[in-house]
Amino acid sequence: MKAMLLALALMATSGEVPRVDDFVGAPYSKLKAAFLAAGWQLQLDGDGINADYPEISCGSGYDALCSVGFSKGQAYQAVTLEHGSNGWVVTGEY
């Protein structure tokens, strides 16, 4: 936990891009906080599947993905999520 907090602090001061792989299996709220602290903006084009996180979009069908996007300048990062008993969890990026 201390290592993750240190990493977040370093990213916030260095302008570094948070590594999605470092958050796989972690709550989405932690990844969201890291991206926002590093100066990234949420892409608010979600489909309203969740009132707490309106930025999340989910496809339809058996193998549908849920995702959220972040942008900073010309850079864009898409993150995949899964909802389970512990809430929204980071599963990867694309």
pTM: 0.79
pLDDT at 17: 80
Domain limits for position 84: 2-93
* Number of domains the chain contains: 1
**DSSP H helical ranges for 1-94:** 2-14, 28-37
Euclidean distance between CA atoms 90 and 82, whole angstroms: 7
Whether 83 shows a pLDDT value over 70: the answer reads yes
For the stretch 8-36, pLDDT in tens is 444 444 557 899 999 999 999 999 999 99
